[in-house]
Homo-oligomer: A and B are copies of this chain.
């Protein structure tokens, strides 16, 4: 059964908490987006975990350096998953994996911007990463790019890690992501941009469960 991850991309603390409240019944993972964590800081992790102890909290740190140092407090504050860039030094990725294991949590290697995604995915799996994130960023989406071809490539490697996919996924594409082997599908604008985020999340939940 694939998990749904809701990307909380607002900057505002209260708006983020309110959106999480609306969609929580239908999603498995609440993601604090990168701009949101930089804007609000650690206290948002604590608040979101306190409000939703039954959900996984992903902190999209996109760590580029000082892996263990940067990620440790976010795991300790209640983050179940922290992300680290596949574009970072291997030692940085290892640092976040180490911090995750020390806190009985998970490290996700984000392949955004990585040229040789297959090589980094294999390296990450060998180093014990828990999740590989196939990810077309917002700026690349604006230029028309999608994550679907990369998803097939990465799941096709048959690595012993979960694969997550993000990048403009909506009701027309979410089932094909699950069928392509994604263990986690990330949805953002398709939910928070909908007239009713809760209704949209409910619809996506049904689609994922039926895929």
Listed in ascending order, the chain A residues whose CB lies under 8 Å from chain B are 11, 34-35, 37-44, 61-62, 64-67, 69-70, 73-74, 85, 87-89, 91-92, 95, 112-113, 115, 137-140, 142-143
Contact = CB atoms under 8 A, between A and B. Distances in A.
A38 B61 contact: yes
Contacts of A112: 64-65
Contacts of A142: 91
A64 B37 CA distance: 14
A40 B41 contact: yes
Majority SS of interface residues in chain A?
helix
A35 B70 contact: yes
A89 B139 CA distance: 7
A102 to B, nearest CB: 17
B37 A143 contact: no
Contacts of A95: 139
B91 A139 contact: yes
A64 B113 contact: yes
Nearest to A140: B89
A9 to B, nearest CB: 8
A95 to B, nearest CB: 6
A83 B202 CA distance: 38
Contact of A91 (B41, B44, B92, B143): B143
Counting chain B CB atoms within 10 Å of each CB, which of A62, A67, A73, A74 scores highest?
A: A62
A188 to B, nearest CB: 11
A112 B85 CA distance: 12
B42 A42 contact: no
